[in-house]
Amino acid sequence: MTLPITPSFRLDGQRAFVTGASKGIGRAGAVALAAAGAEVVLAARTLPEMEETVAELAAAGHRAKAVRLDVTDRAALRATIAAEGPFGVLLNNAGTNIREPFLEVQDASLDALLDLNIRAMFITAQAVAQGMVAAGKGGAIINLSSVNGHVAGSNRSVYSATKHAVEGMTKAMAFELGQHGIRVNTLAPGFVETPLTRPVLVDEKFRSRVVRAMPLGRVMTVEDVMGAIVFLASDASRMVTGLSLVVDGGHLTH
């Protein structure tokens, strides 16, 4: 009798593209993918932070490159992916949130969130997937969602709408791209402490509410999602597609 072999979590020989990679989950994801063996291209609007990350990765023996990119610039986005690709892994992370009560949402806020959280994510995934199909090697696409892609939250109506859209878009992509060997999933974190969320977490009452909502009893860190990113990118999840992997400390259990 031969023992079954666990599919590898390694990404040696893969090339990965990470958007919103200058800080927070994007930066952590880029580090996780590089540490698993992938050659990583980090993309964001601010270059110095990424160059520092690339230098640290190189010092640790990993391969990475930084490119300045505004993903809402469609022409630049497509040109960058064409020039740097093809990729076998996409961490489609760039996104933001503007907290406003539903009755007070400004047109500018609505437009900004729709443009970055949906349009740019869609075009990024499409351009990377086109490269994957042309290369004929399949691949893995991870779209960053949120627990707010599954439930509502106060002052987050537009953000929640965009993340619900990401969940639906991901299922449709998975259905269409499976024939090309491309897997598409979302990573839906709970409340992770990042530069984006830190300004609201300094409010101790708000932080306490966040902690009470998590059965595991603490605010998440970027390290808490790094393993999930490697899992979704690797052969360890080779039959996982169209899934929303929720990493939320148990928030959605109640």
pLDDT tens per residue, range 213-236: 899 999 999 999 999 999 999 999
Cα 242 to Cα 57, 70, 176, 213: the distances in Å are 31, 27, 10, 27
Share of the chain above pLDDT 70, in %: 100
pLDDT value at 1 more than 80: no
pLDDT tens per residue, range 24-70: 999 999 999 999 999 999 999 999 999 999 999 999 999 999 999 99
List strands edge to edge, sheet with 64-68: 64-68, 39-44, 15-19, 89-92, 139-144, 182-189, 244-247
Q: Are 164 and 107 in contact (CB under 8 A)?
A: no
> Poorest-confidence range of 3-12, 154-163, 210-219, 244-253?
210-219
Domains of the chain and CATH, by start: 15-192+224-247 (3.40.50.720)
Strands (E), the chain: 15-19, 39-44, 64-68, 89-92, 139-144, 182-189, 244-247
CA 79, 233, 189, 54 torsion-angle sign: negative
Q: Is 159 a catalytic residue?
A: yes
- Dist. CA 40–CA 184, nearest whole Å: 19
Torsion angle, CA of 167/223/15/91, rounded to 10 degrees?
A: 20
- Dist. CA 115–CA 74, nearest whole Å: 10
pLDDT value at 153 more than 90: no
pLDDT tens per residue, range 7-37: 999 999 999 999 999 999 999 999 999 999 9
Whether a cis peptide bond, with omega within 30° of 0, leads into 48 is no
Q: Is 164 exposed, middle or buried (0-12, 13-18, 19+ CB in 10 A)?
A: middle
Provide the mean pLDDT of the chain: 96
The catalytic position among 159, 173, 182, 191 is 159
Name 175's Cβ contacts closer than 8 Å, sequence gap at least 6.
Answer: 242
Query: Number of C-alpha atoms within 13 angstroms, CB side, residue 102?
Result: 6
